[in-house]
Amino acid sequence: GPTFNARSCAACHPRDGRGRPPESEEEPFLGLLLRLSIPGEGPNGSPLPVEGYGNQLQPFGILGVPAEATPSVRYTEVEGAYEDGTPYTLLRPTYTISEPAYGAFPDAMMTSPRIAPQVIGLGLLEAIPTERLQALADPEDLDGDGISGRINRVWDIDAEALRPGRFGWKGDAPTVRQQVAGAFLGDIGITSPLIDSGECDDAQAECLESLEKQREAAEANQTAALEIEDGNFERVVIYSSLLAVPALRNIENPQVRAGKQLFHDAGCAGCHTPSHRTSADAEFEEVRDQKIFPYTDLLLHDMGEELADGRPVFDASGSEWRTPPLWGLGLVDAVNDHTRLMHDGRARGFAEAILWHGGEARESRESFRAMSAREREALIAFLESI
C-alpha cells in the first residue's frame, strides 16, 4: 500500500509461475495490470506519468485510501481458419477503466496490459553478454530476412546510465535488481534501497497522509522508513536471480523432433533464438559460463497492429515487444492450472499465441497456418517440451 495491485509477489506469480487474465468483466485484476502514460518523454527517456495516477493503475487501497480506479476486460471472438479449412477462434480483449478516484483520465492517456510472467531463469538471462545481444540485433534488417531486432536502451538506476533492457514485456528493466525494486514499488507499494519513494501521486491526498503517518511511526519507533531493508531486499534479488528452469522433456520423441524442425523451418528461431552462453564473470557463480536454451534474443520486434498497445517505453515503440523466453511455458498448465499466453494472456494456448503474431513474425504465422493438422500438432508438442 497505500495503493497496490497485489499483497504479495506470489499473488501474481503463483508458484513462481505465470498469472492469468480475468475471465469475465466482473472478475478483479490479479496477475494482470495496466501501465499508464501520456505522450512525451520523462527523465532519461522514461514514459511520462498520468497526473493523479502515475505510470501504473492500482485498483486496490488500504483502509482509508481510495483505490485509483476499477479496470475490467471483455473479449470478442475473432473467427479464422487454417489453410486446410480447420476453423479456429481468437479472443480480442477490450479494456475499460471506471470509477476514477483522482480526476478524469486524459484523452491522450495510453494504456498497456501486462500479465505476470514466470520468474524462472532471470539470472541466466542477465548473464548473457551484452556483446551477444549486439551481435543479434539487426535494426536496419541488413540481412534482409524481414526481422529487425533492436536493443531497448533503458535507464539503469544503479549505473546511472542507459543499459540494454532485458526484463519486462518491453524490455524496460536492465537488471533483476531493478525489476524486483520496480515490482515492489509499483505492484505492492513497497519502497526499497533502490527505489525509496514514489508510492503516491501528488494528487492522492489520502495516500500521502497515510505515508506521513507511516514515517511518523517509523521515527517514533526508531525504525527505518524503507518498507523492505537492504538485507531482505537482496535476498529477494538473489532468489529471483537463481530460480532454475525446468529440463527439456521428451526430446527424443519423434513428434517433438519433427516439431523442432518445423519451428526452425517456419523462421520462429529468427526471434526465439534457441541458445546462448552466459558470461564467465557473471555476478553469481551459479549462472556463469553455461550454455542455456531460453529461446529468446531479448530484443524488441514489431509485432504488428493487432498486438500494438500504442505505448512507447524508452526506445520501444507502441508496436514493439521484447521476445519472451519460451522455457518453462510447456509446464504452465501443470504449475498454474491454465494455458493463457502472450503479454496480456489473450491466447488460450500455443496455437492461439502463434496466430496472434504479426509484423516481423507474420511470415512465421502464415507458415503455421499453412501446415497440416499433423504438423501443427508436432510444432506444439515441441513447444510443450521446452
pLDDT at 351: 98
Q: Going by C-beta distance under 8 Å and a sequence separation of 6 or more, which residues neighbour residue 205? A: none
pLDDT in tens, 96-133: 999 999 999 999 999 999 999 999 999 999 999 999 99
Query: In this structure, what C-alpha cell is assigned to residue 92?
Result: 480480442
Q: Going by C-beta distance under 8 Å and a sequence separation of 6 or more, which residues neighbour residue 235? A: none
Query: In this structure, what C-alpha cell is assigned to residue 199?
Result: 508510492
Does 289 have pLDDT greater than 80? yes
pLDDT in tens, 224-236: 678 899 999 999 9
Question: Do the Cβ atoms of 190 and 227 come closer than 8 Å?
Answer: yes
- DSSP codes joined into one string, 101-168: SSSPPPTT-EEEEEEPPP-SSHHHHHTS-HHHHHHH--TT-TT-SS---B--EEEETTTTEEEE--BT
pLDDT at 221: 80
- Amino acid, res. 175: T
pLDDT in tens, 162-196: 999 999 999 999 999 999 999 999 999 999 999 99
Of 199 and 82, which is predicted with more confidence?
A: 82
pTM value is 0.95
Any idea which residue has 519423434 for its cell? 254
Q: What are phi and psi of 99, to 5 degrees?
A: 55, 50
Question: Do the Cβ atoms of 149 and 297 come closer than 8 Å?
Answer: yes
pLDDT at 217: 84
How sure is the predictor about 283, in pLDDT bands with cuts at 50, 70 and 90?
very high
How sure is the predictor about 89, in pLDDT bands with cuts at 50, 70 and 90?
very high
Question: Do the Cβ atoms of 123 and 64 come closer than 8 Å?
Answer: no
pLDDT in tens, 309-333: 999 999 999 999 999 999 999 999 9
pLDDT in tens, 28-75: 999 999 999 999 999 999 999 999 999 999 999 999 999 999 999 999
Query: In this structure, what C-alpha cell is assigned to residue 83?
Result: 489453410
